[in-house]
Amino acid sequence: MPWLMAAHIGSLALWCAGLFLLPGLFAAHAGVEDPAAFKRLRTMSRFTYIAIASPGAVLTIVSGTALVAVSDLLGDWLVLKLTLVTAMTGFHVYCGRLLRLLGMHPGLRAPRWLRLLTLVPALLVPLVLWTVLDKPALLARAV
């Protein structure tokens, strides 16, 4: 089903974009003194989480589950992929927690540490892509 695959890829692009943007936005919290600038930063961070990353996550998971339902592509690659997707979901939830806490305590975490969080999606996203794109090899190794 090409339209389902298009929905899956489109929504995962949204989800990944959100997860890559959030650590940088979080890191900016500590240095902003001006209340108006802080309000703008909060609006951008909340928009990225609520309007980009979260709908992207929900649509990716719904469309991915629908793809599993309409295909007979079960196998080790899917178990591996779902494990990595669970880790992405855990990171997503952690970003939601940071978003709330940084609104109350902007200096809660060192900016350098928050920027380093970018490494989490930078590692997970290519690994998820590898499980899908190298699926034939993964299936061959499983039998």
Contact 54, 67 (CB under 8 A): no
Minimum gap (Å) between residue 91 Cβ and ligand HEM: 11
Contact 77, 38 (CB under 8 A): no
Q: Does 28 bind ligand HEM (CB under 6 A)?
A: no
Q: How many C-beta neighbours within 10 Å does residue 23 have?
A: 23
Dihedral sign computed on CA atoms, order 123, 14, 27, 114? negative
Q: How far is CA 61 from the centre of its chain?
A: 11
Closest residue to ligand HEM, based on beta-carbon distance: 64
Among residue numbers 95 through 124, which ones bind ligand HEM (CB under 6 A)? none
From residue 60 to residue 99, the character string flagging contacts with ligand HEM as x (rule: CB under 6 A) and all else as - is xx--xx-xx--x-x--------x--x--x-----------
Q: What gap in Å lies between CA 47 and CA 26, rounded to an integer? A: 13
Q: Does 138 bind ligand HEM (CB under 6 A)?
A: no
From residue 34 to residue 53, the character string flagging contacts with ligand HEM as x (rule: CB under 6 A) and all else as - is --------------------
Q: What gap in Å lies between CA 121 and CA 18, rounded to an integer? A: 10
Write out the residues near ligand HEM by the rule CB under 6 A: 8-9, 12, 16, 60-61, 64-65, 67-68, 71, 73, 82, 85, 88, 125, 128-129, 132
